[in-house]
A and B are shown apart, each in its own frame.
Chain A
C-alpha cells in the first residue's frame, strides 16, 4: 500500500513540471519575445492617415481653377463576395472579364477578410450607376475620398497633375513622410508648390476588429494628430484670357504666353495641343496618360518652357538693335541700304533708319548693324575681333533672359541656346570663323534657341524699357493673399531705358502699317507694338512668331505667340496676339474678322513663296 501511496508524488511532480514549463513558456512569449507585441499592434491598431484637404487654386479674378472633387473607390471583401455575377460586374465597370477575374485574385491574395480596392476613382456619375446595382454584389463597398477636379478643363500644362507617388520617390529622402499610395504633385504648379498645397497630414490611431471594422479610437485619441488643410493659392492666370487663347489655338500647335510686364505675372499659358487636366484624375488616368505621352503631336511637351530649339527669327532683330544702340555703334538715325547681296530681303523703301528697319524688318539693315556691333575693331585680327565682339554681345543678350532659365515657378524649364565663342571654336576651330560665318544671328536665325516664355519675357522687357520680373504663375499663397516677394524682384538689362523708345516706335509701325497689321487694334483705340518673325524650319513649313505688348503708352500685357508651321508671323501669330490683347484689355473681341480668320486655320494652307 505504501509504495502505491508514494505514487502521489509522481503525479504531483507531473503537475508541477507542467505548471513550471507553462510559466516559462509564457515568460518567453510575453516578456522575452517582443515580436508578438508588434504583431498585435499591426493586428488591431490601424494607423489611419487623415488626408488634409489639398489647397485650392484660384485665378487672378477669384475664379476657381483647381478644386477637390469626390471620387469613389469600389472596395471588395473577398470573404463576403459570394455568387458574384462577374460578367455583369465587368460590364458595369467597363472592364474585361479577365481583368475582373485578375482583380478578384489580387484582392484574395491581399486578404480574405480585409477590404481592398477593386476599382479606384469612380466618378460621381459612375458611382450613381453602380450604387443602384450594388445590392446584387455582396462584399462590395464604396469608399469616398477626394481627387483633384478642374472645373474649366483648362491650363493643364501649367497646373500639372497629381498622381500616386512612385517607388523611386519613396526611396528619396526628399519625400520622407510620404507613404505608398499617397498622391503627390507630378508636374506644373501641383509639383512646384507641393509643400504648400499638400497641407499637413494627421494621424488617427484606430482600433479595428479582425474584419477591419472600426472599433473606436485608441487610448481616446491621445496620440492622434489633426490634419491641417493645404494652403489655397491665387494664380496669376486670367482664366477668361486663358480659355480664349485655348479656343484660338484649338487644333493648332504652338504656344501663347502672356505676361503683365510690370509684375511678371503670367496671364495666359497655352501649350497647344492642350489636354483636359481632368483626364488625369479619373479611373482611366493610366490609360489617358500613356495615350497623351505617345501622341505624335507631343501633347505632353510643355512648349512654352521646353520648346527651346527654335530660332526666334526676326523678333530677335529688336534685341540686336537695342544692344547696338547701347554699344553706340548705331543711333536711331543710322541708315543702311537694303543691299540684297548681303542677305535676301523683300521689297520695301530703302535706305531706312532704325524705326523703318524695324517696321519693314529689313534683313540687310540688321546684317550691317550687327556687323558694326560685332566687328568694332577692338583687335586688328578679324577673327579675334569677331570673337571679342560676339563675347561682349552675348553678355548683353543674357541680361535679356535669353540663353538661361528664367526661373519660372514650375519645373521643366529649358534654357535655350545663344551662340557663343566656345560653340563656334568647337565647330570651326579657334580663329577660324568671322562675321561671315555668324551673320545669320543678325536676323535671329542660326545658333539661337529661344523658348516662347523667353520671347514673352523679352516683350515685357521692351514694355518696361529695360527690366523684367521673373515670370511666374502663382501670385500669393495662403489666406493673407500677400504676393510672394521672391516672385517680384526686378532684373535689369544692360540697355538703358531711352534706347527702347525708337524700337517701340518702330514696333508700333509694324502693327499699324507693317507686317503685323493683323494684330492692329486701332479700331478700338489701342496702340499695339509688335514684331513678326519666322523661324526657319528645315523639316517643313516655317514656324510663325509674333511678339507684342499693349497699350503702347502704359503696357498692361506682353505676349508671345508661336504657331508651328504657321509660315509667317503676320498671317497666323499676329491676329492671335491681337485678339488676345483685346480680350484682356477690354474683355470683348471686336476684330471678329481676325477671329474668324484664325479659327478657319486657312493660314496653314497659304502656299510658301
Chain B
C-alpha cells in the first residue's frame, strides 16, 4: 500500500507529513490503546472462566464446552476482524458511512421481521449452525459513522433546525427499531451520542436540562414531593440571588418552576401507569432493592452481596462463591463486574475502573488530535458509547444505575458484543493511524 495509491483512491490531495514516522498503518497505530484493549479482553476472558469454574468439576479454560473456550474463539475472530479493519483503506469508513448505515438499518428491520423471539426479544438473527448475531450491536458503529459523516458536512453551531432534525433522525431511527425489537436497554445507548454532539457545538443547555431532568426524575422517586419542590425552589431562589441576570428573567424562572412541578407529578404517573411492569420493577429495584429481595430486587441485591463480599483484596481468582454458584444472574454477560468485585476486591474493581477511565481519556486524546471533523466526531461517538455502557453496566451492579441489560465493553461474554466494540474502536484506530494524511479543513 503506498501513498500514491491513497492519493488516487482518496481523490484528494494528500500531503505527506514530515512528522510521519512510518508508512505502515501498524507503525502509526496507537499501541497504547491496543494495549488497554488487550488487557481488558484478556481480563474479561479470565473472569468468564472464573464464573463457570466449579471446584468439584474443573473444566479446562480452553474447553469449548464452557463460555471461556467459546469466548477465545470470539477473540480470535476479533483479531482477524482487527487486521481487516486496519488494512482496509481508512477512507472507506468516511465514504461508505451512509451505505453502511443504510445497510444496518435494513438488517435491523429484517431482523425485526424474521427473528424468533428469544426471551421476549426479537433482536437475534439466526445464522445457522448454532451461531446467532445481534444486529443491534452493529448499529452502534454504523450510527457513529453516519453521525460523524453528517457532522463533517454541517455545523451544529449554525443551529439550523433542519440539520438538527436530520441528525436526530439519524441517531434515533435505529433506536426506535431496537425498541420495537424489545431491546430497550440497547436503544438507550443512542442517547449517549449527546456527548459527541456537545463536543461538536450543541448548546450546553441541552446537556444541563437533560441532566437536571434525570436528576429530578430519580429524586422524585427517592424524596417526598413536597420536600423536593421546596428544595428546588430554594435552589432557584439562591441562583437568582447570586446572578442578577436571572433576576431579570423572573417570569422565565417561574415558568421553569411550574415545569418542574409538572414533571415531578408526571413521574409518578409515568412510572406507575405508563411503564411496563418489568420496567417499573427495574426502577423500584434501583430505589430500594431490599423491599423485595427475592423478586425484583434479586439481581441488585445479589450483585451487591457478591461485590460487597469481596472486601479490600478480594477472595482470589476462582475463589468467589457468589458469582460461581449462580446467585448472581447473567454473570458472564451483564453482571461480569460482580466476579471482579468478589474475587479481586476493591483493588481489582478500582483497577478495572481506572483502566476504563484511561481508555476513555485516551480516546478523547485521540479524537482531539484528528485533523478531520469526521475523525474527531467519530472518536467522541466511540467514547460516548463506551462511557454509556461503562456507567450503566458497572452502576447497575453496585446499585447506582437501573438494571439495563447491556454488556461491559470488551469484557462481557458474547461474540456480538465483543466484535461490535472491536469494530467501533478499531475503525477509530485505523482513522487515527492515517490522520496525518488528512488535510485540516
Contacts and interface: CB of A to CB of B under 8 A. Distances in A.
Nearest to B54: A215
Interface in B302-334: 302, 304-312, 321-322, 324-327
B403 to A, nearest CB: 16
Contact of A112 (B294, B349, B368): B294
Given A19-B356, A216-B55, A216-B56, A27 B346 contact: yes
Contacts of A4: 157, 199-201
B345 interface: yes
Contacts of A11: 195, 198-199, 364, 380, 383
Contacts of B168: none
Given A4-B199, A26-B307, A207 B341 contact: no
Given A30-B307, A30-B341, A43 B327 contact: yes
Contacts of B324: 209, 215
Contacts of B345: 30
A33 B399 CA distance: 14
A29 interface: yes
A40 B391 contact: no
B311 A31 contact: yes
Contact of A29 (B195, B304, B350): B304
Nearest to A29: B308
B423 interface: no
B322 A44 contact: yes
Nearest to A220: B55
Contacts of B106: none
A215 B357 contact: no
A24 to B, nearest CB: 10
B346 A25 contact: no
Interface in A439-481: none
Contact of B353 (A19, A39, A210): A19
A552 to B, nearest CB: 72
A40 B195 contact: no
B360 A15 contact: yes
Interface string B153-193: 00001000000000000000000000000000000000000
A372 interface: no
Contact of B55 (A25, A33, A215): A215
Contacts of B78: none
A558 B327 CA distance: 67
B398 A26 contact: yes
B122 to A, nearest CB: 27
B306 A40 contact: yes
B256 interface: no
A15 B353 CA distance: 10
A525 B348 CA distance: 93
B354 interface: yes
Interface string B380-406: 100100010011001100111000000
Contacts of A10: 198, 204
Contact of A22 (B204, B312, B398): B398
B361 interface: yes
Nearest to B294: A112
Given A8-B368, A30-B308, A45-B321, A16 B201 contact: no
Given A18-B391, A43-B305, A209-B326, A37 B311 contact: yes
Contacts of A112: 294
A23 B346 CA distance: 8
Contacts of A41: 309
Contacts of A44: 321-322, 325, 327
Contact of A26 (B321, B327, B349, B368): B349
A192 interface: no
Max chain B CB contacts within 10 Å: which of A14, A26, A29, A44?
A26
Given A8-B199, A30-B341, A215-B325, 9 more contacts: A11-B199, A19-B357, A21-B400, A22-B394, A36-B309, A40-B308, A44-B322, A207-B55, A209-B327
Interface of A: 4-5, 7-8, 10-12, 14-16, 18-19, 21-23, 25-27, 29-31, 33, 35-37, 39-41, 43-45, 112, 207-211, 215-216
Please provide the 8 A-B residue pairs with the shortest distance between their CB atoms, ordered closest to farther.
A36-B308, A40-B309, A209-B325, A44-B321, A216-B56, A29-B308, A210-B326, A30-B346
Interface of B: 54-56, 157, 195, 198-201, 204, 294, 302, 304-312, 321-322, 324-327, 341-342, 345-346, 349-350, 353-354, 356-357, 360-361, 364, 367-368, 380, 383, 387, 390-391, 394-395, 398-400
19 contacts: A4-B157, A4-B200, A8-B368, A11-B383, A15-B387, A19-B353, A22-B353, A22-B394, A22-B395, A22-B398, A23-B349, A25-B399, A37-B311, A39-B305, A40-B309, A43-B305, A44-B321, A44-B325, A215-B56
